[in-house]
Structure 1
């Protein structure tokens, strides 16, 4: 009698066997693009408020020395502490890579980079680990994310932890059985709530830090022989059921096309800081602003898919006191786009800007079943009575994270943060030739140089 393959075991077998030279060229290029974009977003956030608190807290936990680099200030810390700090850095501006299952790079990359630096892994090994981590996490989340999110849980730290565990297991060269145990052990710490979006607090980056550390620890435990339950994902009390609905088969596509069809190729980017639902809103208001040619806005309606329109925090119209309240608010982002033609990290901290707030009041988000996800429709009424309309026909495909897009965004992020083109180009070059690196040390030092140029006061003492 044949027994069905345990889906988590099937993912573990794939993950443990990933080799860069066996992956399609398009997947390898995509992995480089994900690496470059993730590092650029993180390094460009080095002046963000609150990072000193993160460093102080983790330094108190891990002590004054360690084996992995904190990109925030260039100091070294214990493996889990450095991964935590770098995950917070990568996630703080909410401009990380995007997929309906969440923002995986902000968890996977810091975990893999910290372990890769500690274990003197090569650039090729790091790239293989990223491919493993993204594919495992995205496949686990792609058919489960909506139900998990509706229940109040957050996709990024939950699925991202699996990606971190898979990536770290790959760097540790664990076989399929021990990789399965690493993934199974991850379920016990895979957590994170969306309540912060409703209350408007800013602890969301710490979720990425906890998830990155969870993935590392789970892989290290598995490497030492610790065993996890193989049905931790799909069992009667497994993660799928605990964080979803009892009668849905979330694993039905988990192994479909595995090794041939790569979910990571669907990962997109964000031209602006904020939620992935907001990309079309910002782009649309910027386009309508250009069309209005200086005429003033009276009111606007933003028609969005019901899941998006009902997302916690998306329709917040004030008061604004925190970054999360601002970036989650579609009206706030729309108002910024109307006034400036874009949205920046700095502008999302202008909570008391009267020009922005006056426009926010007149913007209504409409739940519209006729709209597809990521394809908003916008109607603006000008003060002279003219009505302007715009709709996003491209959706997610308009933000495909190609190597060209990653390099363009690296330049844009560095320019926004005041980093020289030379330092940006150096980061692009080291990622472009990642497979030639015998260790990831040059990659880490180049990324740190970008961060140091942005926040020179964040130096190790």
Structure 2
């Protein structure tokens, strides 16, 4: 692995220029069919999660603020009866999509691409009346830039206090919107330069379980739209925004280390975004393999909550620090966010309820005495050897001890929903499970029940014939099947 530091002189095309060449060359007609279908499913997954998230209190607040701000009504706002301007519509949709912690996740770059990229792509498509093929092109470009730039930090951006989704999301959003709006090469380079200076997203939400994490992808989506519109009208941005001596890699890296090769290797031939995972459960992706192991044990050994004496969860240190500390809030959540980022709470909830969904992290659910009682008997254990496997793997060992003397253990290092998990060697299973998840989420939303089949069929075949605005109307109160 070649670890690089900031450079003062650029010879040949900059990273931004090389990424722009990829964006210019990416065409729906030349992308492999399996990649097109995978990204249709990513868009479907995002919309199901965002519609579910639109009912969250944090989503209601930002939607209300944007509605009061007013402006040109071009962008559909998921779950709402009004439209917003492109930038603010992307802001709401990105924020809403992150509210219930079921949006997709790219394991090695440790970020959530859909919630930054798809809202920007949607808003851009509605601005110009783009069809479904252009929406897909934009989303592919956005995922590719966001995941590749995130990969360069080698899983350590969190250690610097930054949220990779917020910081890297601006590039994905700008790439998606710029592709759809037809920027030329110079404009696209400028747009990425403008986007990079707006990168943000602090991890301080961990201190008190507040909502700012949900805002990060929304701000990325908004910044992407703004960057593209500015560049299209002649605003300039540096082509060295990524690797320059004052650039993104230096500013956001931990101990000033990164690997540029992770951005450029295979660019144009390997679709890094294709390896994005979907979340089958609500809550932080870092513990989904914990839930997999817990559910496997309870099912295989017929263990119910009443029989559990205690449980021990050995995890890589990054997960332990994020999801087991501080104990005062991981064992007694004071907010929904606290519970969404708690291994003890989520293990207890999965033992009692099975696969955990947003309903299991409601304001009422996080104070359920039965869950909290069992939660107190779940111990997290940090493992430095397991940490060496992160972020390529999420090594985890779950042991459940029962009152009748049994002790059973399961090991997992790739969560379900990750395309590298061996269960997805079965052709079509990955896409099928995303559809099943979508239907499960919509099952909690009776107002949209009569549209579910139409949503699935339309998005599963999304292409040049589909009007994006008409399609998105299905995800608003006034939409019709």
The answer, yes or no, to whether TM exceeds 0.5 is yes
User: Does residue 126 in structure 1 map to residue 135 in structure 2?
Assistant: yes
- What residue is the counterpart of 2:360 in the other structure? 347
User: Does residue 37 in structure 1 map to residue 45 in structure 2?
Assistant: yes
User: Does residue 189 in structure 1 map to residue 198 in structure 2?
Assistant: yes
Counterpart Cα distance in 2 of 1:296 and 1:426: 44
* Residue among 374, 378, 395 paired with 1:359: 374
2:241 partner SS: coil
Post-superposition CA distance 1:71-125 (Å, at most 9, x none): 1312111111111111122111010011132001011111111121121011111
Structure 1 runs not aligned, ≥5 long: 454-461
Note the C-alpha offset of 1:246. Answer: 5.7
* Residue among 273, 290, 306 paired with 1:264: 273
Structure 2 runs not aligned, ≥5 long: 1-9
Post-superposition CA distance 1:165-198 (Å, at most 9, x none): 0001101111222111111111111100111023
| Residues 52, 13 of structure 1: alpha-carbon distance in 2 compared, 3 angstrom cutoff | same
The more displaced of 119-128 and 415-424 is 415-424
Number of residues paired by the alignment? Answer: 451
Counterpart contact for 1:147–1:243, Cα < 8 Å: no
Counterpart Cα distance in 2 of 1:358 and 1:380: 15
2:54 partner SS: coil
Note the C-alpha offset of 1:391. Answer: 1.3
Please give the residue correspondences for 1:418-433 in structure 2 after superposition, counting only pairs within 5 Å: 418=446, 422-433=450-461
Counterpart Cα distance in 2 of 1:388 and 1:246: 40
1:359 partner SS: helix
1:303 partner SS: strand
User: Does residue 84 in structure 1 map to residue 91 in structure 2?
Assistant: yes
Note the C-alpha offset of 1:386. Answer: 1.3
1:218 partner SS: helix
1:281 partner SS: helix
Note the C-alpha offset of 1:47. Answer: 2.1
The more displaced of 152-161 and 197-206 is 197-206
Counterpart contact for 1:45–1:89, Cα < 8 Å: yes
User: Does residue 71 in structure 1 map to residue 78 in structure 2?
Assistant: yes
- What residue is the counterpart of 2:383 in the other structure? 368
User: Does residue 9 in structure 1 map to residue 26 in structure 2?
Assistant: no
| Residues 340, 246 of structure 1: alpha-carbon distance in 2 compared, 3 angstrom cutoff | closer
Post-superposition CA distance 1:330-375 (Å, at most 9, x none): 1100000011112121211212211111111111111113434323
- What residue is the counterpart of 1:382 in the other structure? 402
* Residue among 192, 197, 222 paired with 1:213: 222
2:263 partner SS: coil
- What residue is the counterpart of 1:135 in the other structure? 144
The more displaced of 314-323 and 147-156 is 314-323
Please give the residue correspondences for 1:153-172 in structure 2 after superposition, counting only pairs within 5 Å: 153-172=162-181
The more displaced of 351-360 and 286-295 is 286-295
* Residue among 13, 17, 27 paired with 2:35: 27
User: Does residue 49 in structure 1 map to residue 57 in structure 2?
Assistant: yes
* Residue among 330, 345, 353 paired with 2:343: 330
Counterpart Cα distance in 1 of 2:24 and 2:159: 32
Counterpart Cα distance in 2 of 1:79 and 1:420: 25
| Residues 243, 452 of structure 1: alpha-carbon distance in 2 compared, 3 angstrom cutoff | farther
Q: Over aligned residues, Cα RMSD in angstroms?
A: 2.2
2:93 partner SS: helix
Counterpart Cα distance in 1 of 2:29 and 2:475: 25
User: Does residue 103 in structure 1 map to residue 123 in structure 2?
Assistant: no
Counterpart contact for 1:419–1:450, Cα < 8 Å: no
Counterpart contact for 2:58–2:99, Cα < 8 Å: no
Counterpart Cα distance in 2 of 1:307 and 1:317: 15
